[in-house]
Chain A
Amino acid sequence: MAEQDTFLYALSSNNAWAGYKSHQNPEFFPKLASGQSPKILWLGCSDSRCPETTILGMQPGDVFVHRNIANIVSPTDINTSAVIEFAVVYLKVKHVVLCGHTGCGGAAAALSNQRVGGVLDTWITPLKAIRNANRQELDAIRDDKARAVRIAELNVQKGIEVLMANVTIQEAVEERGLDVHGVLFDIGTGRIRDLGFGTRKQGAGGASADEVVRGRHATLVFRGGNASMKITR
């Protein structure tokens, strides 16, 4: 598609989508305008192949979102911290989901010995630190793709540690049972895998209680390492 075509396409496609949505359900937009009460805060990668609402099969109003390069959670990053504060304290989301993915450019950059340039080297410092701390394990993986997947998993693990050390999150976990999940999106299959980090560790302490998240338009059920979903409208 030519450049300007893509641009015009997005605007005209929005027009068509808005028309379709309000035809399908005249209350859709008035309801949206009345406010948001998302149950999920999604912390993911900016990568264009990881559109959270689409891959979760959810609708506008269901997922509060922050996406950055390589889904890095740094304790002193004011951008991510402000999102967490707003979502956890004011919107009172029920779940925080940190999602890494296969084929991450940031992971590849952290595994290489070259400078990326500009501000990016500073941004991926936490990933570089993960690489250095796990050099032996990572270097032993022969396949480049598999190595990038492994560092992406370790990055989610580290990010969950940072989240669990966040005072706002700690208080919400304590006071109202906020759940924190670490997952990985496989771009090659479109599936999300629960890595079992966070508040409900996979396999630990037998079967955990099933968790039902009722979004505005769908119901998502977490059971063990799996999730199922039903569109409610």
Chain B
Amino acid sequence: MSDQDISKYLRETHDRVFEHNKAWAAEQTAKDPEFFAKMSAGQNPDYLWIGCSDSRIPAEVITGLQPGETFVHRNIANLVCNTDLNVMSVINYAVRHLQVKHIVVCGHYGCGGVKAAMTPKDLGLLNPWLRNIRDVYRLHEKELDAIPDEEARYNRLVELNVMEQCRNVIKTAAVQQSFAKNQFPIVHGWVFGFHDGLLKDLEIDFKNVLADIQKIYNLTD
């Protein structure tokens, strides 16, 4: 498109300010006249979603959950590190203040962060962040080394990374204490596949994993 065409196109589309956004807002109001009033009143989400920053996985779009239903944290390769105050604050707030019922750690096959982490290269600022993924590999070195196909091995690492991050969520005081008192939240591990758009539930046995973790990481009194 030439510059002239672009500016013509711009004129044509001007005043269509956030047209789609308007349509969406109108649609919500038509379905429920109180929608935005309720939204303004506060949030009461059942879910905390910890996912990858990857542009192809907008939590609300792929799950069909509505605004107000999912509290969201997204970072490179959906990592939960115990010294990262950013994600720890998100978990703390979601569990203790919003009292979410489910925490989902959602990874995805073909994750660029996981691939980058396994590349023998100095990535500067990304090194300390991606190092956590190499640690996951080390924990499951035998299993992963035994997978001959490279893509299959990466995909398995993606799944193991999700499970490890679920464990890290369960290691927090907020989750352990809330579960002891309320029987929630439950922690789930999911993986999103681009080839079919489907979510795979890794079916983490929450109660057993929790008991296992608490042998060492118990933070309940």
Residues of B within 8 A of A176 (CB): none
CB-CB contacts below 8 Å: A31-86 with B: 32-33, 36, 38, 46-57, 59-69, 77-83, 85-86
Q: Which residue of A lies closest to B89 (CB)?
A: A123
Q: CB-CB < 8 A to A83: which residues of B? A: 53, 75-76
Q: What distance in Å separates the Cβ of A67 from its nearest Cβ neighbour in chain B?
A: 5
Selected from A60, A119, A212, the residue in CB contact (under 8 A) with B10 is A212
The interface size of chain B toward A, counting residues with CB under 8 Å, comes to: 82
Q: Is the interface of A mostly helix, strand, loop or mixed?
A: mixed
Looking at A129-137, A157-165, A198-206, A220-228, the stretch in contact with chain B turns out to be A220-228
Q: Which one of A63, A69, A85 lies within 8 Å of B55 (CB-CB)?
A: A63
B10 close to A188 (CB less than 8 A) = no
Q: Which residues of chain A are near B112, meaning CB under 8 Å?
A: 36, 86, 90
Closest-CB distance, B54 to chain A (whole angstroms): 6
CB pair A46 B72 closer than 8 Å? yes
Interface membership of B84, Cβ < 8 A? yes
Could you say which of A18, A38, A124 contacts B196, with CB atoms under 8 Å apart?
A18
A17 with B89, Cβ < 8 A, contacts A7-B102, A79-B75 known: no
Q: Are B47 and A228 in contact (CB under 8 A)?
A: no
What class of interface size applies to chain A in its complex with B?
Answer: 35 or more
Whether B88 and A119, one on each chain, are in contact in the complex, defined by CB atoms closer than 8 angstroms, is: yes
Q: Between A and B, how many residue pairs show CB distances below 8 Å? A: 257
Contact B85 A77 (CB under 8 A): yes
> Is there an interface contact between B89 and A79, defined as CB atoms closer than 8 Å?
no
At the interface with chain A, which of B91-99, B136-144, B158-166, B209-217?
B91-99
Q: Which A residue sits closest to B198, measured CB to CB?
A: A18
In whole angstroms, what is the CA distance A56 to B86 when docked? 25
Interface string of B177-208 (1 = CB under 8 A from A): 00000001000100000111111010000000
Please name all residues of chain A whose beta carbon is closer than 8 Å to the beta carbon of B120 when the two chains form the complex. Answer: none
Inter-subunit contact B18/A13 (CB<8 Å): no
Q: Which of B16, B64, B65 has the most CB of A within 10 A?
A: B64
Instruction: Report Cα–Cα, A11/B64, bound state, in Å.
Output: 9
Q: Does B39 contact A (CB under 8 A)?
A: yes
